[in-house]
Amino acid sequence: MSHMKSSASAFSGSTRVVTPAGNVAGSLRLPGDKSISHRYAMLAGFAEGISHLTNFSSGADPHSTLACMQQLGAGVERGENGVFTVTGCAGSFQAPQAALDCGNSGSTMRMLAGLLAAQPFTSTLVGDTSLSRRPMERIRMPLTAMGAKLDLTEGHAPVTIHGGPLRGLDYRTPIASAQVKTCLLFAGLQASGTTQVHESVHTRDHGELALRAFGAEVERSKLTVSIQGGQKLHGIDASVPGDLSSAAFFLCAAALFPESNLVLDGVGMNPTRASLLDVLRGLGVRLNVLELSEQHAELVGTLQVLGNPGGLQGAEISGALSAQLIDELPVLAAIAPYTRDGIRIRDARELRVKESDRIALVAQNLRAMGAQVEEFEDGLDVPGGQTLHGAGIDAGDDHRIAMAFAVAALRAVGDTQIHGAESAAISFPEFFEFLDRITER
């Protein structure tokens, strides 16, 4: 269905043409979860001993983390079977000879800062244009309170960290962010005394689960997580569950077709990540969990999704749900015109400071396809019962925008050109190939 062709427009990179589909069916196994891959890579690099990481994310972002780990003295080798062997630094990184390049990855920059804040050297974290626009004050403030010194440029990268001995912190996060929480737990692991983080929303808990997997004790009581400093980590053998945020694109694609039948194997089903499944059920999609197991306390399952012959209803997404669904909101908004009652999103201001301003870019691209949409400071109203028309989409160098509109294109009238489609590789290089596999025309 889709084919690569070079772009003749003002957009950078490659254009993918997505033609409308008649159905979605088949089965897929997804590459490893991006959030978990980052955390396993960082903790494997920090721990004592050797870790073997299977089904590591194929996305560019977690590979930025692996490259940083190598620069900090960890051994990283990729075996023929795709398994990464990481030899850790036993709690003491080497001072890097050059700036650590986080690429497009906010997770790398924010979480690695937590590990580096306690190391007795100065290091600098840099990123691409998009990452250099994203807010870093959210980590500077609490890490400074723990005793580190961080230099930013007007709140942004480059982030220079003057590391040293840290003291534990009792901190209430002003923004719901798993990256900030994890950053503080990574710093707290090396601080004197206890570090406590109180969240307003139970954000994804992969950081806590990964720390436990590598041997640390982490306590949770309701919305508070705490860690004692001075604990040692040891290497592990782990398999990374399939990425549910990547699966989201195919789940939403299947939701668009009444006769669809899609099976996704080995998908991460951690409850702090799985709110999308509830929203899809609310829209009328039939979802079955065919198998469920646990790997290092991460739930992994086989998911079957069946379209609803009665079509999709509508959804209201606000409050804690918006924070828990933050990465899935672009694709939900992109399919909203095909629902009966539309989708209303609020309390999602954080979308404006992701890899792009995702509220503005979703609205712009929906309008390009001929939809009515109302933009709010913290969300969107996308009415239902609309027809979308194939159009030129600006992915804005944002992987999730490129993939969200490739899904919307499946039920549009006419072909859609996704300009900047190559950005999908930030989290999911196989996306267009997988989409081809499951679409029937």
Residues that bind ligand S3P (CB under 6 A): 35, 107, 177-179, 182, 204, 326-327, 350
Question: Residue 360 Cβ, how far from ligand S3P at the closest point, in Å?
Answer: 17
Our answer to whether residue 327 is catalytic in this structure is yes
3-state SS string for the chain: CCCEEECCCCCCCEEEEECCCCEEEEEEECCECHHHHHHHHHHHHHCECEEEEECCCCCHHHHHHHHHHHHCCCEEEECCCCCEEEECCCCCCCCCCCCEECCCCHHHHHHHHHHHCCCCCEEEEECCCCHHHCCCHHHHHHHHHHCCEEEEECCEEEEEEECCCCECCEEECCCCCHHHHHHHHHHHCCCECEEEEECCCCCCCHHHHHHHHCCCCEEEECCEEEEECCCCCECCEEECCECHHHHHHHHHHHHCCCCCEEEEEEEECCCCCCHHHHHHHHHCCEEEEEEEEEECCEEEEEEEEECCCCCCCEEEECCHHHHHCCCCHHHHHHHHHHCCCEEEECCCHHHHHCCCCHHHHHHHHHHHCCCCCEEECCEEEECCCCCCECCEEECCCCHHHHHHHHHHHHHCECCEEEECHHHHHHCCCCHHHHHHHHEEC
Place of tokens 């983390």: 65
- Based on CB atoms, which residue is closest to ligand S3P, 177 or 339? 177
Q: Which is nearer to ligand S3P, 24 or 395 (CB)?
A: 395
**Least distance CB 344 / ligand S3P (angstroms):** 20
Looking at the Cβ atoms of 35 and 417, the one nearer to ligand S3P is 35
> Both tokens of residue 204?
């994804």
Q: Which of 33, 61, 101, 327 is catalytic?
A: 327
Of 101 and 243, nearer to ligand S3P (C-beta) is 243
263 or 323, CB closer to ligand S3P? 323
Q: Which amino acid is at 141?
A: M
Angle at 329 (CA atoms; ends 327, 333), nearest 5 degrees: 150
Structure tokens at 27: 């089965």
Expressed in angstroms, the distance from the first to the final Cα of the chain is 8
Q: Which two tokens stand for residue 292?
A: 């469920």
Q: Which is nearer to ligand S3P, 63 or 204 (CB)?
A: 204
CA distance 190 to 274: 31
How many Å apart are CA 71 and CA 73, to the nearest integer? 5
Question: Cα 415 to the chain's mean position, in Å?
Answer: 28
Point out the residues that are catalytic.
Answer: 327
